[in-house]
């Protein structure tokens, strides 16, 4: 478990500083007035020259009159022309921002922006740990191109509003042209592909809302393995693996693992979110990353065994982000634990399903030991990726869900978790705040869970439990630093019982020192006096 969390953490370490870019933060007023509806990215990619060239169309709605439109695009790109509602407009491109100064004030309403540009995008120096383009080749010398940009945002290669609070409600389209013989894999469904004059063009489209770091493509000498997956609700979805030709013989084994992972995810989190499109993994030259309907996979088919069957931790974790991150999305990077922590909790649930409750408990105990507690999981509001990212959003976030499960019980916890992943109030276009999660679980359990959420998510405290020897085999057990009641298991010489503790405490009789929370449902410190 420790190795897995380190590797997941490494997916971000350094990535948020690559090219001196970061995503999110305080939303600029010029962008706050824009509601992005759709992106259309049209590019020709030249692997030999490592260049891209084309244009992006952005459909949006403004909520008040404005004479400025502001978009993010890395300074490495050369912007040639800009049109707003088909009229060319003056602009500047400085500090990774395209500032369009309109010729006249534009009333609130629908707007179409077209930006023509090109250049050499930034190279990912240590993919996936640093975001950018990876230009490489397979073992036969064929070009192999990948993009990673979660920490930096899609502004590394197309103009966009780079803030997690706004996703294109009407989806995105990508039309990518490459040298003939290469295949372009993209989000959503392939609409068409054409070849002419030594070049092939692939048109991909998703009609679902999508985060901007998932609007990207992979290029390679791919072959596509497809089987039909029947979801928990009975819908048929293409399940696909885009593999290099040299690895295509591994497709069936990978799809078998993929299907087992999908069954567990659906059991706990509801039907696969993108049933009208596809579920897919795409072989990449970097370790991996969650991309909606096209998860990047670079674990090189290094499987382990869970419950006597082949398992791929990377595939399972990144695929879990289809629910946590893609379908249920934090309204701000400050609440990133929702996607990373609950997704990691889903990794533990796979162990529970295939190896049993005791194996799940042992894995959670290891997660508790690995927790650093150097920074809170939720450190404020309107924060950027550089600020919020640290390893505990994975492990401690997962362990918090484990604690929550114990506090409210399985009969309430699991249906409520599934509701968070399926209710329209928390999914797709409706972005989520930590307070939304707390209010959902508080309402379902009939308990005020806000103190628990605040204690474990917004501080780095551990629960302090005092056990005081009163003499004559009598002990007082109480909480020292938590305001409210919490259930804890206490093991005495006569057995185990679940008791409600607070600062007042309880008295227990035991022939030996009581053992507090032996299975480790809490991050805690026990003080014996």
Q: Report if pTM > 0.75.
A: yes
Distance CA 222, CA 183 (A): 6
* Domain 15-220 class in CATH: mainly beta
Q: Contact 228/266 with Cβ under 8 angstroms?
A: no
Name the 3-class secondary structure at 273: coil
Torsion of CA 505, 453, 426, 319, to 10 degrees: -110
CA angle 192, 197, 198 (to 5 degrees): 80
Confidence of residue 7 (pLDDT cuts 50, 70, 90): low
Output the CA torsion sign for 293, 299, 304, 309: positive
Q: Please state the rounded mean pLDDT for residues 436-449.
A: 98
Supply φ then ψ for residue 436, to 5 degrees: -65, -40
Task: Name the pLDDT band for 340 (thresholds 50, 70, 90).
Answer: very high
Q: Cα dist. 146→171, 226, 295, 298 in Å?
A: 21, 21, 12, 11
Query: Pairing mode, if any, of strands 172-179 and 34-46?
Result: parallel
CB 246 within 8 A of CB 292: no
Ramachandran assignment for 473, one of left (phi > 0), alpha (psi -120 to 50 degrees), beta (any other): left
d(CA 235, CA 233): 6
Spell out where 245-313 has E strands.
279-283, 288-289, 295-297, 304-306, 309-311
What is the maximal distance between C-alpha atoms in the chain?
92
- Token output for 232: 């928990």
Mean pLDDT value across residues 262-277: 98
Whether 339 shows a pLDDT value over 50: the answer reads yes
pLDDT of the residue at 6? 47
Q: Per-residue pLDDT for 83 more than 50?
A: yes
> In the chain, where are the structural domains located?
15-220, 463-528
Whether the Cβ atoms of residue 136 and residue 285 lie closer than 8 Å to each other: yes
Tokens 């997962």 correspond to what residue? Answer: 398
User: What stretches of 180-257 adopt beta strand conformation (E)?
Assistant: 183-185, 189-196, 199-206, 218-220, 222-230, 236-244
- The answer, yes or no, to whether residue 14 has pLDDT greater than 80, is no
Kindly tell me if the per-residue pLDDT of 169 is higher than 50.
yes
Pick the CATH number of 463-528 from 2.60.40.1910, 3.30.70.1350, 2.40.40.20, 3.40.30.10: 2.60.40.1910
* CATH fold match for the domains 15-220 and 463-528: yes
Is residue 71 a contact partner of residue 97, using CB atoms and an 8 Å limit? yes
Number of Cβ within 10 Å of residue 179's Cβ equals 16
């Amino acid at each position: 478990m420790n190795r897995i969390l380190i590797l997941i953490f490494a997916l971000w370490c350094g990535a948020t500083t690559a090219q001196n870019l970061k995503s999110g933060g305080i939303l600029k007023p010029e962008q706050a007035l824009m509601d992005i509806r759709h992106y259309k990215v049209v590019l020709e990619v030249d692997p030999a020259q490592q260049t891209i060239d084309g244009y992006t169309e952005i459909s949006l709605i403004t909520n008040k009159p404005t004479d400025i439109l502001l978009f993010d695009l890395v300074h490495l790109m050369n912007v040639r022309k800009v049109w707003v509602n088909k009229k060319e407009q003056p602009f500047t491109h400085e500090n990774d921002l395209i500032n369009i100064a309109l010729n006249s004030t534009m009333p609130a309403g629908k707007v179409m922006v077209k930006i023509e540009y090109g250049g050499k995008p930034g190279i990912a120096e240590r993919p996936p740990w640093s975001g950018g383009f990876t230009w490489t080749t397979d073992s036969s010398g064929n070009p192999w191109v990948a993009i990673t940009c979660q920490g930096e945002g899609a502004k590394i290669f197309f103009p966009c509003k780079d803030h997690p609070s706004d996703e294109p409600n009407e989806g995105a389209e990508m039309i990518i042209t490459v040298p003939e013989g290469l295949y372009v894999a993209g989000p959503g469904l392939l609409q068409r592909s054409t070849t002419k004059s030594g070049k092939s063009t692939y048109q991909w489209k998703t009609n679902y809302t999508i985060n901007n770091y998932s609007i990207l493509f992979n290029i390679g000498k791919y072959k596509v393995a497809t089987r039909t997956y029947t979801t928990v609700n009975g819908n048929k979805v293409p399940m696909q693996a885009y593999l290099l030709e040299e690895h295509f013989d591994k497709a069936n084994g990978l799809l078998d693992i993929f299907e087992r992972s999908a069954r567990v995810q659906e059991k706990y989190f509801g039907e696969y979110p993108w049933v009208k499109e596809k579920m897919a993994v795409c072989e990449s030259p970097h370790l991996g990353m969650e991309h909606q309907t096209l998860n990047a996979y670079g674990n090189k088919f290094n499987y382990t065994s869970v419950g006597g069957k082949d398992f791929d931790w990377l595939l399972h974790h990144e695929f879990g982000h289809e629910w946590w991150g893609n379908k249920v999305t934090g309204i701000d990077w400050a609440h990133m634990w929702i996607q990373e922590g609950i997704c990691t909790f889903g990794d533990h649930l796979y162990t529970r399903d295939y190896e049993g409750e005791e194996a799940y408990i042992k894995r959670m105990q290891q997660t508790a030991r690995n927790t650093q507690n150097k920074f809170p999981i939720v450190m404020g509001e309107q924060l950027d990726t550089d600020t919020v990212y640290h390893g505990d959003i994975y492990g401690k976030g997962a362990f918090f869900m484990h604690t929550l499960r114990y506090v409210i019980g399985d009969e309430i916890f699991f249906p409520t978790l599934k509701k968070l992943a399926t209710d329209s109030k928390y999914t797709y276009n409706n972005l989520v705040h930590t307070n939304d999660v707390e209010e959902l679980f508080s309402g379902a359990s009939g308990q005020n869970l806000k103190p628990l959420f605040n204690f474990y998510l917004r501080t780095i405290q551990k629960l302090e439990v005092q056990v005081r020897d009163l003499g004559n085999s009598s002990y007082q057990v109480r909480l020292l630093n938590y305001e409210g009641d919490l259930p804890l298991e206490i093991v005495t010489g006569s057995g185990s019982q679940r008791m409600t503790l607070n600062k007042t405490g309880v008295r227990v009789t035991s022939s030996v020192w009581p053992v507090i929370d032996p299975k480790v449902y809490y991050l805690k410190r026990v003080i014996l006096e």
